[in-house]
Amino acid sequence: MHFKLIIALVNDDMTDEVLAASRTAGATGATVINNARGEGVKQTKTFFGLTLETQRDVLLLLVEEHLSRDVLEVISEVGKFDNSPGTGIAFQINVEDAVGVSHQIQQLSETVEERL
């Protein structure tokens, strides 16, 4: 079985919604890293000229490759990434190998067979 790692940087107030939606799209779990900082093309400034940084969470989702595009699109839709600038980004990378997921392979095999 082949996997992809989806890395999503989302506003911390959207984390729970994005996680719930990714589960419905086929993700079997995630690791959340809290309190990351980020900025977009334009820095948001206060009226004192100070930089205002928004808090983000980093979501790491190891997803079966046939389900990864659906999960990625759901994350983008729920997180409103394409609708509003500065709301977050998500991308996926290939995973050469993974351990510790043998208990999920049975469930994933059934899910992938149903979708294909």
CATH number (domain holding residue 84): 3.30.70.120
CA separation for the pair 12, 47 (Å, rounded)? 24
Q: Which two tokens stand for residue 82?
A: 């394409």
Bridge partners (DSSP) of residue 59 are 8, 32
**pLDDT at 35 (0 to 100):** 86
Counted domains in the chain: 1
Contact 79, 6 (CB under 8 A): no
For residue 65, what are the domain limits?
3-115
Closest to 92 measured CA to CA, from 40, 27, 12, 14: 27
Closest to 78 measured CA to CA, from 14, 4, 6, 5: 14
Alpha-carbon torsion (89, 94, 100, 105), positive or negative: positive
- pTM here is 0.82
**pLDDT at 1 (0 to 100):** 77
Q: What is the pLDDT of residues 36-73, one digit of tens each?
A: 876 666 666 666 666 666 789 999 999 999 899 999 99
Q: What is the pLDDT of residues 1-35, one digit of tens each?
A: 789 999 999 998 999 999 999 999 989 889 999 98
**pLDDT at 79 (0 to 100):** 93
